[in-house]
Amino acid sequence: MQSRIDWVDFAKGFCIVMVVMMHSTLGVEAYAGGQSWMHWVVEFAKPFRMPDFFLISGLFLARVIARDWQRYIDTKVVHFLYFYGLWMTIQFAFKAPGLLNEMGAAGLLKFYLFSYIEPFGTLWFIWLLPVFFVVTKLLRRVPALFVFAVAAALESAPVETGYTMIDEFAARYVYFFAGYWLARNWFTLAARAQEQPALAIAGLAVWAIANGVMVALGYASLPFFSLALGFAGAAAVVALSALLARVKWLDLLRYAGEHSIVVYLAFFLPMAATRTVLLKTGVVSDIGTVALIVTAAGVIAPLAFHWLVRGTRFDFLFVRPAFFRIQLRPRLQAAE
């Protein structure tokens, strides 16, 4: 089996930390009734946070896209839908008591079933990934430049129907496809950053200033600007990740990236619990610091929990059992 590529894990680590940071910060600010200094960190990352996540998700697709449909559906559709169904149900169970008073039993059941069509809570990313995998395989014979151009046009439209499937597909597919189609270019960028670190650092400084200015001026969400900033930010994360892999700093970030799906699936509970404790006790007065602590808990706690349950009967939380495979096999497939 080929060893993991460190810079890719660093990039995935950046992605998952930024996602947890966004949910943590906005949640803390909503409960506290005000903005914090962490809000500006979240805003800075907004143009490239999800574009980079989807781009990295498409990087290795070329290795498996030629598989027969049965194997492909098993690893690229059933795999993610298993974790979505499981963790959506877990999240739903925690929120059900409050929703029951609001909706009643019949309404609650209807809402739960509808969550398989319209994603629930924080899990929309792994709900949407199988769609991207299937669409990309179906479009395999279509000229890649044409697919990219159409996807870029959809991102710049923008499309706003109110349905996650349609809206997020239009907004994100261009990055996933670019990760797949231009994978060699992203690996070349990482190699160049490692070969010329001084130039890479200078480029990152220019990008950080430009991204910050565009966000401050309100251009980040405008058509075409959002597309350009999305790709520029993704390139910056690739370069920065390559530099970190070169010097082997921040190994916890690499480890979080290696197990990014674990963090993504389980961060909601430690995030909510830590937020509640800190805000109710008032032990930390600055809400920006509260958001930072909540972010750390949202990343570290799932990794610790995963370590504790590994090899136990609770493995099914992060490992897809053979029973949920299209081709039943005795071994288990790890979530990460």
> Which pLDDT belongs to residue 2?
46
Instruction: Output the pTM of the full model.
Output: 0.92
Percent of the residues in the chain that have a pLDDT greater than 70, as a whole number: 96
Total domain count for the chain?
A: 1
* Measured distance CA(258)–CA(219) in Å, rounded: 33
Q: pLDDT of 245-299, one tens digit each?
A: 998 888 999 999 999 999 999 999 999 999 999 999 999 999 999 999 999 999 9
Does residue 295 belong to any structural domain of this protein?
A: yes
Does residue 31 belong to any structural domain of this protein?
A: yes
Helix, strand, coil share of the chain (percent; to 5): 75, 0, 20
Q: Specify the amino acid at residue 310.
A: R
> Which pLDDT belongs to residue 329?
52
Does residue 315 belong to any structural domain of this protein?
A: yes
Residue 334 pLDDT exceeds 60? no
> Which pLDDT belongs to residue 3?
61
Q: Is 102 in contact with 134 (CB distance < 8 Å)?
A: no
For residue 198, give both structure tokens.
């001084």
Q: pLDDT of 87-109, one tens digit each?
A: 999 999 998 988 888 888 899 99
At 1, is the pLDDT very low, low, confident or very high (cuts 50, 70, 90)? very low
> Which pLDDT belongs to residue 322?
87
Percent of the residues in the chain that have a pLDDT greater than 90, as a whole number: 88
> Which pLDDT belongs to residue 184?
96
Does residue 1 belong to any structural domain of this protein?
A: no
Residue 158 burial (CB count, 10 A): 14
Domain that holds residue 54: 6-334
What residues contact 33, with CB distance under 8 A and at least 6 apart? none
